[in-house]
Amino acid sequence: MRCEHCGDNMKVTADGRILICPSCRAESLVKQDVFHVHNTVNNVILQKEDVQAAAEFIQKADTFVRVGDYAKAIPLYDKAINADPANYRGYMGLVEAMTIGFTRFEYVEGGLVRDLGLGDYINKSMKVANQTEQELIRRQCFVIKRGVLTRYIGNEIFLTIPDNVVAIGGAFHGNRRVVTVEIPDTVVEIESYSFANCKNLTCVNIPSSVTGIGNNSFENCTAYKNPLRIPESVINVGAQAFAGWTKQQKIMVNKKRAKKWNKKWKKDCKAKISWY
C-alpha cells in the first residue's frame, strides 16, 4: 500500500495496527480488509485481493505441474510470488517446476545451488514459512522419481533421507556442504557416484536393507572419520567404490560377501580394510 502524500510504500508497525511512511512519516490505521505481513524477507502490506490472487496462481500452476507442463507453471508461480511474497508455496512451486522440468542447476563449492537461483528461492521460502511448512520444504528439497532420490537441492548439512526412497542416485555427487546422512531402512541400492566427491562428509549409515553399492559411490570422501561398516546384506560393490580414500580411513567388510563383489571395488583405495 502506497502513501497518499508521497507515494512511497507504507510499512506496518510491530503491533500490526499502524501504517507508517518511511519517507514523510505519515501514519494511518490498518484497515480490516488489509492483510499485514511482517517477515524477514521484506516488510510489505498485502491487500486481500493480492493474497487471493496468489493462491489462484499457485492452484493453476500446480495443475500444470501435475500434467507435466512446467513451462506454463513457472510464470504462474512467478506471478504468485509477486502478488504474495509471504506465501512459501510460490517459491517452492517454482523450485519444483524448474528442478523436475528442466534440471538446469548444479552444485558449486560449498554445496550451494546456482544457475536458476534455486537456493535463493529455497532460502526465501524458509524465511516466510512456519515450522510445519519448513518441514515440508525440507522434504521437497529431496527430488524423488519413482522411489529414486535423484537430487538434493537444499543447503542443510545434517540430513535424514525420507522413508519413501528405495534407491539413492547421484543425489549428492559433488556436494561439499553435507556432513552427515541418515539412510532409512527402505533403501536397497546406493547407486554409482551417490556420494562421490562429498569433501566434508564424515558419517553415513548403511542399513542392512542395502544390497548393492555402485561404482565410485563413495569416491574421494576424504573427510570420512569413523569406520564405515558395510553390512552383510550387501551382495555387490562396484568398481572404485572407495577410490581416493586414505590410509587414515577404515572400512569394515564381510569377508565372505566381498569374494563376490566387483574385483576392482578396492581399486585406488588406501583405506584399512577390517574383515569380519
We report the CATH number of the domain holding residue 166 as: 3.80.10.10
For residue 85, tell me if it sits in a domain.
yes
Residue-level pLDDT at 66: 87
Give the residue with greater pLDDT, 109 vs 251. Answer: 251
Task: Note whether 145 and 245 are same-domain residues.
Answer: yes
How do residues 115-155 score in pLDDT, each as one tens digit? 446 777 888 888 888 888 888 888 888 988 899 999 888 88
Task: Note whether 227 and 214 are same-domain residues.
Answer: yes
Task: Note whether 102 and 127 are same-domain residues.
Answer: yes
Mean pLDDT, rounded, for 62-70: 89
For residue 233, tell me if it sits in a domain.
yes
Give the residue with greater pLDDT, 13 vs 224. Answer: 224
**Angle at 149 (CA atoms; ends 144, 154), nearest 5 degrees:** 85
How do residues 182-236 score in pLDDT, each as one tens digit? 999 999 999 999 999 999 999 999 999 999 999 999 999 999 988 999 999 999 9
For residue 3, tell me if it sits in a domain.
no
Map grid coordinates 581399486 to a residue: 267
Task: Note whether 25 and 68 are same-domain residues.
Answer: no
Confidence of residue 7 (pLDDT cuts 50, 70, 90): low
Domain that holds residue 179: 141-276
Contact (CB, 8 A) for 196 and 168 = no
Mean pLDDT, rounded, for 35-41: 40
Task: Note whether 154 and 240 are same-domain residues.
Answer: yes
User: Model pTM greater than 0.75?
Assistant: no
Percent of the chain clearing pLDDT 90 (strictly above): 48
Instruction: Name the domain count of the chain.
Output: 3
Mean pLDDT, rounded, for 261-275: 96
Residue-level pLDDT at 10: 65
